[in-house]
Amino acid sequence: MTAMIDLARLRGDLPSATTHAYLNAGTFGPVPKPAADAMREHLEEAYIWGRIGARGYAAWDGLTARARTAFAGVAGCPEDEIALTHSTTDGCNTVIWALDWSPGDEVITTTDEHPGLTAPLDELALRQGVVIREVAPTREAIAAAIGERTRLVAISHVLWTDGAVLPVPEISADAHAAGARVLVDGAQGGGALPFRAADLGCDYYTYSGQKWLCGPSGTGALWVAPDALGELHTPWPWYLSRDRRSGPEPQEWTIARRLDAGAVTLTAFAGIAAALEWRATLGVEETCARAAALAGTLRGLLEEVDSVELETPAAPSTIVAFRVPGREPADVVTRCEELGVLVRQIPTHGLVRASVAFWNDERDLERLVDAVR
């Protein structure tokens, strides 16, 4: 663990975070210089030397392994428990379509989930006759909804709407007591909160590379608890869904890489590996703690603005959500961008959302408050 974050050096690696007050990591994080350099170098290598032959295949294996190792570091787990995906939604789909379902089976989810989770669940209901039950995003409501036909509880770690942190360990314990599995959408958790996947008690945890982890688009990971892997089919088999390099005949993987998504670009692997390695040098716990403290500061500043209605969840995260009465959220977001502040709207809830990250400083927060005023 590092003793102190060198903010000037950190921000020097993130030019887009100094061009604006960058408060939208919940959609895309800024790409750090090491990641941009790594992607350029990989493209140059492929351009000059080609992408096949011993050199090309070594790059393929090496970049895939680096990305898997780096994602495992985020979740605090062994590499064998990580499948590489294109996104958080990719991980949700992997679990949903890898399970066996019968008509009348139930999935419990909440009213505040992102379409990256609800869209696959809607399709599951349409195609398999599974009942999707939406309840309030509280432990009590979820526990009360779990019944004999409940096969899966599918929830967020951090709600994308107001930033509430759900009590995943307690919800997981309730679900397991009834024989149900737990899928966690970690899009707003991975890279924003320090965690060990196994300590959350869930069975599957899916998270993005392009948000709080500052990697390129098209990257993500799915953690699968070892005792839950055997229940999952391989939903989209491809060339490397089996081990084809250890012997004359392809062998079924007995680890989570059996669920890897096909054809993630190696350029993206180069970028996410470099981004996560860069983040690790800064200290994951230190950077998460800094972001949480800044989010608390922003809440305090916004509470002092008469024209703002602040959303205050019981368990807040690095997301700060608010309303400006009389103004449409889209208009507020547009006006903020004109003033050099990047936030986003949550149209389903009438909210403006600021995603406060470790690269922000107090001036970024003041610029947002001034823009809102």
Interval 94-152: pLDDT, tens: 999 999 999 999 999 999 999 999 999 999 999 999 999 999 999 999 999 999 999 99
pLDDT at 240: 86
pTM for the complete prediction? 0.96
Question: Which ranges in the chain are annotated with CATH 3.40.640.10?
Answer: 75-263
pLDDT at 248: 82
pLDDT at 32: 98
Which ranges of the chain does DSSP label H, i.e. alpha helix? Answer: 7-12, 15-19, 33-49, 53-75, 88-98, 115-128, 139-145, 168-177, 197-200, 226-229, 266-282, 284-303, 329-338, 362-372
Residue ranges of the chain with pLDDT lower than 50?
1-3
pLDDT at 1: 35
Length of the chain: 373
Widest Cα–Cα separation across the chain: 71
Which residues, 6 or more positions from 256, have their beta carbon under 8 angstroms from its beta carbon? 80, 81, 82, 83, 222, 223, 224, 229
CATH architecture of 7-30+283-372: Alpha-Beta Complex (3.90)
pLDDT at 2: 39
Distances (CA, A) of 255 to 337, 357, 364: 45, 33, 43
Helix/strand/coil for 362: helix
pLDDT at 353: 98
pLDDT at 55: 86
pLDDT at 245: 75
CATH of domain 75-263: 3.40.640.10
Phi–psi pair at 57, nearest 5 degrees: -70, -35
Residue-wise pLDDT for 196-246, tens only, equals 999 999 999 999 999 999 999 999 999 999 999 999 999 999 888 888 877
Question: Which ranges in the chain are annotated with CATH 3.90.1150.10?
Answer: 7-30+283-372
